[in-house]
Amino acid sequence: MKNAAIELNNVSRKFVSPQGKVTLALRDFSLTVNEGDFCAIVGPTGCGKSTTLGMITGLNPPSSGSVKVFGKPVTGIDPNIGFVFQADAVFPWKSVLDNVAMGPVFRGKDLKLAREMAAEWVRRVGLAGFEHHYPHQLSGGMRKRVALAQTFINEPKILLMDEPFSALDVQTRALMQEELLGLWSEKKASVVFVTHDIDEAIALADRVIVLSKGPGSVKSSHEIPLARPRHVSEARYSDEFVHLSKKIWTDLKDEVQI
C-alpha cells in the first residue's frame, strides 16, 4: 500500500488586496497524492490551481485547514520538492550546462561535480552539443528541456508543474510530454500537474481532478486506466481516451461557461 506524499485537508485560501478586498481562491479543498502517483488538476481560470501548488511548497500557507508533505505539516520550503513553471526559470547570462548545474551548487555540491552531473542530465534531455549555448540561442522546446534537467538533477521526491508546456507549439508540446513521462518513469516522483488542457491531463496522469470555478473546490475525480508505459502520440487516439476526454469535459464545461 502506498503512503501519502501530499495531503491537503479542507484547506481554504484568502487573499487580501492593498485596498482591503478579500478574495477567496480555494474553499474546503481536499486532495491526497500518494507516493509515485501522477495527478493532474484541470479547471477554469481563477479556480485556485496555482494556489494549490503554492500551498504545497509552503509559499502560500492556507488560511484554514492543513497541508502535509510525507506526513509532516508544511512549515517552509522543502528541498524534496521540485517546481517547473510556465515561464522559463533560467539565468540568461549562464550557459545550458551552468544553468543545470546551479541546483546542485546551491545544495552544496562541488562545482566540478555539479558540472559533471549537469553534463549527464543535459545529455539525457536530448541537448548534447548545446552545453555551451545560452538561453537566447535556444528554441522554446529546448529551453523547456533545460528546465526539466534543472529540476530532475536535484532528484525531487515531489514534482509540481504549473502549465509547463502551454506556450509550446502542438508538435513540441507532444515531444515534451513524452520526455516528461520518460524521465518520471525512471524516478517516480509524486507529481501534481496543473493544466487547462484536458487531453494533456489524460495523456500524462494516473488521476485527473476537476476543480469548480472560484473559489475552487473538487468537483470530480477521474482515474485514468490507460496502460503504462504510455506513449502520448498513441494513447490519445484510443477509444478509451476519447471517452475519458468527453466525460471530463462534461464535468468541466459548466464551470468554464459564462
What pLDDT digit, counting tens, does each position of 48-71 carry? 888 899 899 988 888 899 999 999
Question: Residue holding cell 497524492?
Answer: 33
Rounded average pLDDT over 238-243: 93
DSSP 121-173: HHHHTT-TT-TT--GGGS-HHHHHHHHHHHHHTT--SEEEEESTTTTS-HHHH
The residue whose grid cell reads 509559499 is 59
Q: In what order do the strands lie in the sheet containing 38-42?
A: 81-84, 158-162, 190-194, 38-42, 207-211, 218-223
Q: Which domains does the chain have, with CATH numbers?
A: 4-80+156-256 (3.40.50.300), 90-155 (no CATH)
Cross-strand partners of 32? 7
CB of 105 within 8 A of CB of 111? yes
Cell of 33: 497524492
- Whole-model pTM over 0.85: yes
Average pLDDT over residues 176-197: 90
Q: Which of 197, 202, 155 is nearest to 39 (CA)?
A: 202
Residue 228: phi, psi to the nearest 5? Answer: -115, 150
pLDDT, residue 193, reads 96
Q: Are 13 and 177 in contact (CB under 8 A)?
A: no
- 202 grid coordinates: 489524460
pLDDT of residue 131: 94
Cis peptide preceding 156, ω within 30 of 0 = no
Mean pLDDT of the chain: 90
C-alpha cell at 218: 473538487
Highest mean pLDDT among 16-25, 166-175, 204-213: 204-213
d(CA 190, CA 53): 13
- Look at residue 107 and tell me whether its pLDDT is greater than 80: yes
What is the β-pairing status of strands 158-162 and 81-84? parallel
Residue 49 in grid coordinates: 490551481
pLDDT mean over 112-138: 93
What whole-number percentage of the chain has pLDDT above 90?
53
Burial 218-233 (b: 16+ CB within 10 A, else e): bbeebebebeeebebe
Is residue 39 within 8 Å of residue 192, measured between CB atoms?
Answer: yes
